[in-house]
Structure 1
Amino acid sequence: MELSIARVCSVLLSLFTGLVSGLEITSTAPTSLEKASGQSVKLDCQFSLASEDSGPLDIEWSLSSSDNQKEDKVVIFYSGDRAYVDYYPPMKGRVHFNAADPKNGDASINLMGLQSSDSGTYQCKVKKAPGIRSRKMLLIVMVKPSKPRCYAEGPTQEGKDIVLRCLSNEGTSPLEYIWKKTSGNKLLPASAGFDSLGGTVNVRNASASASGTYSCTVSNRVGSEECILHLNVTPPPNTAGIIAGAIIAVLLILLIIAIILFCCCRARHRKKYEKEICNEIREDVPPPKSRVSTARSFTVGSQRSSLGSMSPSNLHEYALKPQYDKIPSSEEYERPPSHAPLPPPTTAKVAGPNLSRMGGIPVMIPAQNRDGSIV
């Protein structure tokens, strides 16, 4: 009996509450939305009023904080027949009410230029005393993949392993990569291993048939981008020819260096030899003629003065003097050593007493040097 009375009381209470508050949220739009960055989104919040809801109308949109310890952030609100649209600085100029006058039952808002930081749970709260209703929606802002970069890693030669890589720097995970060959038989090489999450194609023991044009498409739930790669698999290089060419080049360089060093040494030796020849003093160079003429004039005068003091008896002794007491002429100086005149035959000297006995007068002749000067 008591249980039935309690049930009746609860039903009456619910009916009384419904009669007192006629405010209801009538939106049927999805409560979870996924949008790409840069796009716009409408957060729907439709409501209806009853005659009993006679208080002032207040509409508040808030962004729930991921940290339960922090308060929710009010984005935009309507109160006293006035809309406050620039209340939240990060969304300033990007959020506004969908209707010019929200009190007619449309509390929806439009959010433009979406950013990844706009992701979160939004709550629409409508208050008109005595009624209060709210609605929550989850908004996920996804970043579209950026244009990927395609490139080949490793030597693109026959018989080598080649890795084709595709990389997108931006984009909300999960990202999916798809490689295709757009030229030739349009089939990936049979030895290729494909990784759709990492965006790589590993071509083992590549052959010339792997050459061609490839495309890589990266995508997620909000968009896709593509890049093109031109692959050219070349034959392996002629290693023996390269080595032979390198050896010949080295030998030519060494030969050129040796020739340069030889020329430098020869030029240096020739310069040194010419310098020694210039500094050499030759012994067969005759003295200057002016000195010879001066010596001749001096000695001739001396001889004349000596002859003037001699008597006729002394002339014979003077004539018998050796030839080295005479001053050689310039012709004798210029004559080569091989044509030098032989010395005159020696004659016996006459002693002083014998010269007096023969009637001669001894005369002293001053001593002279080889060049004719008197000592």
Structure 2
Amino acid sequence: MQLLQQNGLTKGLKITSTEQPMVEKAQGEKVTLPCTFTVSPEDQGPLDVEWVLIPIDNQKKEQTIIMYSVDRIYNNYYEAMNGRVQFTNPDPKSGDGSIDILNLKSTDTGTYQCRVKKAPGVESQKIQLTVLDKDTGELSLKNASEEYSGTYNCVAANRVGTDDCFVVLNVTPPINTAGTIAGAVIGTLLGLFLLAFLVFCCCKKRKEKKYEKEVHHDIREDVPPPKSRSSTAHSYIGSNRSSLGSMSPSNMEGYAKTPYNQVPSEDFERRSGQNPNFPPSKVFSSTSASVAAVSVPGD
């Protein structure tokens, strides 16, 4: 170093970014950690830019989070920041080795060190990053009524800045769900009752039509025809004959007084007219003969 200064030469590699010993950001935001540098013709070696996270616990090792070496970028060293850390300038050879950390988390809090190498020059710079946890500012409204309707403005501020938001609240009266449910149930029951009544009426009417149709087309057996009067007459005569045959002289007197008009003569005549094979003369002759054959003793 002294030999170079005596020959009029100065140190080549130098970090030029403004030193920021501490940076504070809110959770979920993006932060840029600066690290710009210059090189001189004396720095002939390959350029290496490396960012490491120095843990608070000295017992733990440093964690490399991103590196530029031999014209290549390596950003998969630290799994907790995969996809969230990148070089601000895709080509750090231009003299900008700054990095961006996206979507900050509280676990990103720590000391970050930028190391630039280009032999024989070597330079480094540390930055303390603090990520604030976000505070919730929720507003709870219980038993809200229409008077609560309106526009609400929320303002939040901390050491890293201020922010606000607007919320429009519109409170509407609650719907009478109990009445709606009861009405729906009653309507359903009435509909079912009406449907059942219609089905009953249809079935009853169908049965009546079926009964009328069966009665109208029913073929019933006729009542047996009455016995012919000729049979009655024969029976009557036969009975008279048997009676006469069995009469004794003592009871013949009463029978002799029986008028002949009790015999259904009209029936005999009508039947004899209808049936030419029926001889009425024989009937009366036989009767007369039966009567004549009876003798009354003592006369």
Normalised by the shorter chain, which TM-score bucket? 0.3 to 0.5
RCO comparison, higher one (Cα < 8 Å, 6+): 2
CA radius of gyration, larger in: 2
* TM-score, with structure 1 as normaliser: 0.40
Question: Could you say which structure has the higher helix fraction?
Answer: 2
